[in-house]
Structure 1
Amino acid sequence: MASAGSVLEKKEKRQFMDDYIPLRVVALTSRILPSYVEYVVRVQRGPNLEERWDVVHRYSEFSALHEFLETSGITLPIPPKKMFGSKDKEVIGERQKGLQAFLDTVLCEPLLANTWEVKRFLDPTTYSDEPHEAALRNVSMVFRSHPEWTVTEPVRNIGWRFRKHYYLVANRREEKIRYFLTWFEPGPDFALNDKDLETALKLLSGIKHQFILSPVSAIYNGVGVAVMRQFSSRGSLHDVIYNCRPQNHVLKKYGVPCKWRILGVPDVVKYSRQILEGLKFLLDKGFVPAQVHAGNVIIEGGPTASIARISDIENTLLGLPSYYHHYLYSYELRKVQTMEAVLSYSFGQLLYEMAMCRPLNASVMENVPGDMPAVLRPTVESLLSKDAVKKPLPTVNDLIENEVFATVAIDEREKQLKVPNRFKEELLKCKSMMESRLQAQQKKVQQQKRLDKAKDAILSEEEKKKRRKLQKKQMSLQTDTSYVSYPTTEIRTDRPPPKSTAPAPKRSSKSHLTKQASASQIPTTTSTAAVPKPPPPPAAVAPPPPPVVSAPLPKTSSERGALLGSIHTFSKTALKKTVTNDRSGPKV
């Protein structure tokens, strides 16, 4: 049984861990063991170079992960199995490249990268515990103090957040009404204390607005939050677009659907205006619901009289990252730094998905699709184009006043939400903290991008060639400079020796010829450069030495040349005779 200290430590770690910071595979190597081959995967979390670790897997584990992710219908390349020769170096090299491509493809798909199985595969230390059993225990503990609620059926993996768990529940007082329960723990941006959080949940439960789906009950037990809402048979806007049942697995629902449901332009405009009205109401009351996306917009009513209602408003209060969290860290969105800007950008992504009946799957819109309705094209461009995200984005009020959405008639109904002034100050603190964290992460990403760009420039082939040429040029310049700087180090071998005052020995011509002949008969075992030539025979009477003509010297070494010349032409006969007066004897 774990101690109380370890439980609190684990809770603290989960509270501030951001599960949705993108992971990437930095390197993939292999090592051959006697009975099998292991593949070592180096993983990095976000732009922080200190958060790196190695994970060891066999090919069978890669294959099992591929089999699980195949249910999404997304094409994932993986090397084929080998019955024989799996330890050959060529096979291992090809398989290593294929597994690297497989992981890169998985991590580029947010739907796949955010699954528990992928997180556990790349970080088994952090994601070792099974989350569903712990969530069910917490829900059971919550219902002990609220016996009017009971769990009817657990519904697993129907949403993109793997730490958010879903259950069908019933109220004993109203058995005919079906309710949907969500259980989740606070996220990395959670800043409220327990008392303020309970106040916020009570406020959310008391919201009355036709375009906001407020919770029936919200309970916080110190570990997580259990939120109950009425069950909608049509599901979310995401379910309507993908034409799927709400209770299906998230990979089967939102992978590659069999058939899209195309929304007409009137429905897109109507849903957009209803969503904007709900967002405006929350902003006016001090809430910043930066969690808007197709998954938390619930569609209610029939096909002819359907309305869109915003759900899961508590996500921002609990500090959960937004659906487009991974895009906010990209270099293109470095100017999106406030929660209002994040809200406008998220609405742009939602509008694109409604208009095109498919997600953008990119941080910005490079080009406007040709099949986009002309009525919606200017609005989408003002929210998602490359030039638009570099400037302040349109606010919610600006979008409501847009001529496209202003034509929708809205029935004025009762609206209710009273927020105390003290709690508004706490909401402002939470907003400021989330913005500071977002800007800090964006700064890290930009710094890492500069470092990667510099490394690529250094390691590129063209840069290598330039560096080789520059090194050769520097070496040649150093050689030339060394020769010019030291001109007097080269000594001429043909210069005659200095004149000696001693008389030259007399040699007969016969003895000289005999010695010369004997020297010519000696076999040369080494190169001729290694054996010096015999000196020429001196003349009987040495003529006076000719004047030494030194090699022309540079101007900078003229004094040194004059000194060497005077040394070569020095003669003792030019010295004056001196008389020595010896005074060393003793005096008597």
Structure 2
Amino acid sequence: MAIFERSSQTKVQIDDTERLECVLENAQNINNHTEYILRVQRGQNKENRWTVSRRYRDFASLHVSLLQANVDLPIPPKKFIGNMQPSFVAERQVALQNYINEVLKHQVLSLSLQVRSFLDPNNYPLSINEQALQTISIALRGDGQFELKCPFTDIGWRIRKHYFLVNESESQLNCMLSWQNYGPDCTLHSKDLQLAFKSLQNISHPYIDNVLAMHTLETGAYVVRKIHENGSIRDLLYGTEYNKNYLAKYGNPKVRKPFTNGQISHYGYQILQALKFLHDKELCHGNVHPGNITIENQTALLMDVENFLMGVPSLYRPFLLELKRTSSAEAVDVYCFGRTLYEMAFAAPLESYYCDIYPEGISQDLEAVLRQCVSGAAARRGPAALGALLRHPFFTRAHVDVGRAHLKFPLQLKDQLRAARHVAEERLRLGQKSVRNTKREVRIQEILNSEDEMKKQKRKARRRESVWKSSSSLADVSTASSPSPPSPPTPTPTPPAPPAAASSRGALLSAICSFDKSRLSRVVSH
């Protein structure tokens, strides 16, 4: 089997930056304890889902491992009595769902090995650090140039990138060795990758960090650099040290020291010069962020330029997937550069994939630069070009002589580099299209649900109207069929009084009434 075939099979196909979604589907009682069934999905593909069973104590252990991040998380309390009752289990299930939602909402936590291993133990075993240590121990044993001293435990955000303290055999100089696996965008033939690494090791640029040694292995590569005691720009922003735990440094930093406008202009111009140089040489960076830029003697030094060759995803890939016009290699570097400037200016990462509202005290020129990189308008039409940013007034005031720079690739390798860049761009475009399709499906489903709800309401209204009409008609029928009560008798009209009598008649009647029988004389008969 060819070397390239072995490399293509052993590279990591999983994108470690893809978002995980988790839903607690059910709870079941097993052997006098409760297990919660978690349905987990990676990315937008609904077929890429699985279930994992966890107990409450597993959630509690995860919470303990995340305490060093100093992030307030709503873990439900432990209960010893009555924890098997159905009502309590249902209540706790809701609380644990809220807890895992808060964890996944925080990027620093969601990218950690602890969380990934909790939700996806098959692809993220906790022994991954031990495997890396074993690989480097064997590799350096046969090299002889560097001696392994000790590992730097969890000082970076990449799960599959590991750091070690090594000692150069001749100079006895302490150096930092970084080892990482090939990523999903690594398409270079093993021989081409070795040629590219050899050229990259000889790179010379005032704003790109020098590489002491680079070696490719079957499953990954390691790079040796000098140790920068000041750490990265991100370490300077949050007042921490380079060799501290990543979660403890950046989870919820207590110290925040934003750069001044002059510093942002000065160092930003140098970073732009380094990026422009790489693109002029058919190369790109693809992973610019404050964590891989250091400052030494008032000079910004761009590190990790080998990441593109190794095909590893960007820290900002979840945000890049939300964009539509940002898929070319140059556009990606400009967008990442804009997010880097934002964090330098405010000592806080940009939480959304774009920003249109800035504090009142910000410099107008700085705001104009940010709007060309990370605004909503830039998200719709694409960010500015590197050359246009270099000519912006915010950076022209910081103009300095770049000096001599050197990076030369063999002619036959340049075509392979273009092809590798095209593959990475195409995978990003497909990811962006998948996100848009998912959003469209959600909107359609919401419309259908609203239409169904309207139909239900109309059916209910028709039923109410039908019931009302039925009750009205029944009332009418009942009124018509009932017998009417007898009507009261009509009173006989009183006849009108007769007309008044004559005056003589009245006198006669008066005389009759006043007649006195005692006044009559007796008549004697013979």
TM range (shorter): 0.7 to 0.9
Displacement of 1:408: 1.1
Question: Quick one: which amino acid aligns to residue 410 of structure 2?
Answer: P
Q: Which one of the candidate residues 54, 71, 76 is aligned to 1:74?
A: 71
Contact 2:66–2:109, Cα closer than 8 Å, also in 1: yes
Cα separation, 2, equivalents of 1:238 and 1:476: 65
Displacement of 1:88: 2.3
**SS state of the match for residue 93, structure 1?**
helix
Q: List runs of 5+ in structure 1 lacking aligned partners.
A: 479-588
Note the 1:54-65 alignment, pairs <5 A. Answer: 54-65=51-62
- TM-aligned CA distance change 1:13 to 1:225, over 3 Å: closer
Partner of 2:235: 239
Cα separation, 2, equivalents of 1:201 and 1:465: 60
Note the 1:547-566 alignment, pairs <5 A. Answer: none
Displacement of 1:104: 1.1
Note the 1:133-172 alignment, pairs <5 A. Answer: 133-172=130-169
Partner of 1:442: 432
Question: Quick one: which amino acid aligns to residue 285 of structure 1?
Answer: K
Question: Quick one: which amino acid aligns to residue 94 of structure 1?
Answer: E
Partner of 2:290: 294
**SS state of the match for residue 387, structure 1?**
helix
Note the 1:143-222 alignment, pairs <5 A. Answer: 143-175=140-172, 177-222=173-218
Contact 1:149–1:170, Cα closer than 8 Å, also in 2: yes
Partner of 1:85: 82
Cα separation, 2, equivalents of 1:115 and 1:353: 21
**SS state of the match for residue 74, structure 1?**
coil
Note the 1:494-509 alignment, pairs <5 A. Answer: none
Output one character per residue of 1:441-480: Cα deviation in whole Å (capped at 9) or x when no partner: 11111111122223334445xx4541214446899999xx
1:120 is the counterpart of 2:117: yes
Output one character per residue of 1:263-316: Cα deviation in whole Å (capped at 9) or x when no partner: 111111111001011111111111011111101101113xxxx21100000001
Cα separation, 1, equivalents of 2:446 and 2:93: 22
Question: Quick one: which amino acid aligns to residue 166 of structure 2?
Answer: V
**SS state of the match for residue 160, structure 1?**
coil
Contact 1:25–1:41, Cα closer than 8 Å, also in 2: yes
**RMSD of the alignment, in Å?**
2.3
Contact 2:295–2:301, Cα closer than 8 Å, also in 1: yes
Superposition TM-score, scaled by structure 2 size: 0.84
Partner of 1:359: 349
Displacement of 1:17: 1.8
Contact 1:169–1:178, Cα closer than 8 Å, also in 2: yes
Question: Quick one: which amino acid aligns to residue 327 of structure 2?
Answer: Q
Displacement of 1:371: 4.2
Cα separation, 2, equivalents of 1:10 and 1:17: 15
Displacement of 1:339: 1.4
Displacement of 1:29: 2.3
1:468 is the counterpart of 2:428: no
**SS state of the match for residue 47, structure 1?**
coil
Q: List runs of 5+ in structure 2 lacking aligned partners.
A: 467-526
1:274 is the counterpart of 2:270: yes
Superposition TM-score, scaled by structure 1 size: 0.75
- TM-aligned CA distance change 1:411 to 1:69, over 3 Å: same
Cα separation, 1, equivalents of 2:288 and 2:340: 8
Note the 1:220-235 alignment, pairs <5 A. Answer: 220-235=216-231
Partner of 2:412: 422
Partner of 1:578: none
**SS state of the match for residue 376, structure 2?**
coil
Structure with the bigger RCO (C-alpha within 8 Å, sep 6+) is 2
Question: Quick one: which amino acid aligns to residue 238 of structure 1?
Answer: R
Question: Quick one: which amino acid aligns to residue 364 of structure 1?
Answer: Y
1:328 is the counterpart of 2:283: no
Question: Quick one: which amino acid aligns to residue 336 of structure 2?
Answer: S
Displacement of 1:60: 0.8
**SS state of the match for residue 359, structure 1?**
coil
Cα separation, 2, equivalents of 1:476 and 1:75: 51
Output one character per residue of 1:493-528: Cα deviation in whole Å (capped at 9) or x when no partner: xxxxxxxxxxxxxxxxxxxxxxxxxxxxxxxxxxxx
1:251 is the counterpart of 2:241: no
Contact 2:230–2:295, Cα closer than 8 Å, also in 1: yes
Cα separation, 2, equivalents of 1:373 and 1:101: 40
Question: Quick one: which amino acid aligns to residue 456 of structure 2?
Answer: R
Cα separation, 2, equivalents of 1:10 and 1:23: 27
Partner of 1:583: none
Contact 2:365–2:393, Cα closer than 8 Å, also in 1: no
Contact 2:8–2:187, Cα closer than 8 Å, also in 1: no
Cα separation, 2, equivalents of 1:10 and 1:472: 64
